């Protein structure tokens, strides 16, 4: 009898192993097929993006002037005297508490009339001085960021005596 029991146990172990291997093979095939379908759907988009990048590269190469000088590379700057926008230099400073945290802020300001460099520099220094008094807890979350933005807009309005109509946040990073 012990011989028959061993044979039955061996048969059960093989069927248990096959019960695990068959679903594993089926799931692998389904996953591979799904990946192939998704890849086929995304492939035209990748090709279109490559075509657009190639066309832009060719346009940049063809944008050389008659005297052989290249046109300005990269994105055009939005801050020009014609539209009254002045992009301030990036502000990097540590916070009041905890002093180990740093903040980097890039701001552009929109003047009502012609831009004034002196006012722009005063605004830049005032924003940096204000950021040194702010704690991390004050600017956490979306509400804290909105309060910070409102405070900076108010300080800019006071410093510029109403000559700046809008403050545009370009980047804001806390480390």
> What confidence score (pLDDT) does residue 43 get?
74
Do 93 and 55 share a structural domain?
no
Do 90 and 27 share a structural domain?
no
Confidence at 11, pLDDT banded by 50, 70, 90: low
Distances from the Cα of 129 to the Cαs of 122, 126, 132, 133, 150, in angstroms?
11, 5, 5, 7, 16
The CATH number given to whatever domain includes residue 103 is 3.30.479.30
Do 109 and 47 share a structural domain?
no
The string of pLDDT tens digits covering residues 141-167 is 999 999 999 999 999 999 999 899 999
Bridge partners of 166, per DSSP, are: 110
Q: Is residue 125 part of a domain?
A: yes
Do 43 and 15 share a structural domain?
yes
Do 112 and 62 share a structural domain?
no
The string of pLDDT tens digits covering residues 78-90 is 556 667 888 999 9
Do 61 and 105 share a structural domain?
no
Do 139 and 65 share a structural domain?
no
Do 126 and 89 share a structural domain?
yes
Do 138 and 66 share a structural domain?
no
> What confidence score (pLDDT) does residue 19 get?
85
The string of pLDDT tens digits covering residues 91-133 is 999 999 988 999 999 999 999 988 888 999 999 999 999 999 9
Q: Is residue 79 part of a domain?
A: no
What is the DSSP code (8-state) at residue 90?
A: P
Q: Is residue 139 part of a domain?
A: yes
- Where b means 16+ CB within 10 Å and e means fewer, 86-115 reads bbbeebebebeeeeeeebebbbbbebeeeb
pLDDT exceeds 80 at position 74: no
Domain that holds residue 137: 85-174
Domain boundary among 47, 73, 99: 73
3-state percent helix, strand, coil for the chain, nearest multiple of 5 = 55, 15, 25
Report the number of distinct structural domains present in the chain: 2
Structure-model confidence comparison of residues 69 and 56, the more confident one: 56
What is the C-alpha separation between 43 and 49, in angstroms, rounded? 10
Do 157 and 99 share a structural domain?
yes
Residue 108 host element (H or E): strand 102-111
Do 100 and 56 share a structural domain?
no
């Amino acid at each position: 009898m012990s011989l028959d029991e061993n044979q039955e146990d061996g048969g059960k172990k093989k069927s248990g192993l096959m019960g695990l291997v068959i679903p594993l093979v089926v799931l692998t095939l389904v996953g591979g097929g799904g990946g192939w379908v998704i890849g086929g759907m995304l492939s035209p988009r990748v090709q279109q993006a490559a075509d657009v990048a190639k066309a832009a590269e060719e346009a940049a190469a063809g944008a050389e002037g008659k005297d052989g000088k290249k046109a300005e590379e990269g994105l055009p700057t939005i801050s020009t005297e014609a539209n009254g926008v002045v992009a301030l230099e990036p502000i990097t400073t540590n916070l009041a508490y905890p002093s180990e945290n740093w903040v980097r802020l890039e701001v552009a300001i929109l003047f009502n009339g012609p831009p004034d460099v002196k006012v722009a520099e005063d605004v830049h220094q005032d924003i940096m001085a204000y950021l040194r008094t702010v704690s991390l807890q004050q600017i956490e979350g979306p509400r804290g960021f909105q309060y910070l933005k409102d405070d900076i807009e108010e300080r800019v309005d006071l410093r510029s005596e109403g000559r700046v109509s809008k403050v545009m946040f370009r980047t804001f990073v806390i480390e």
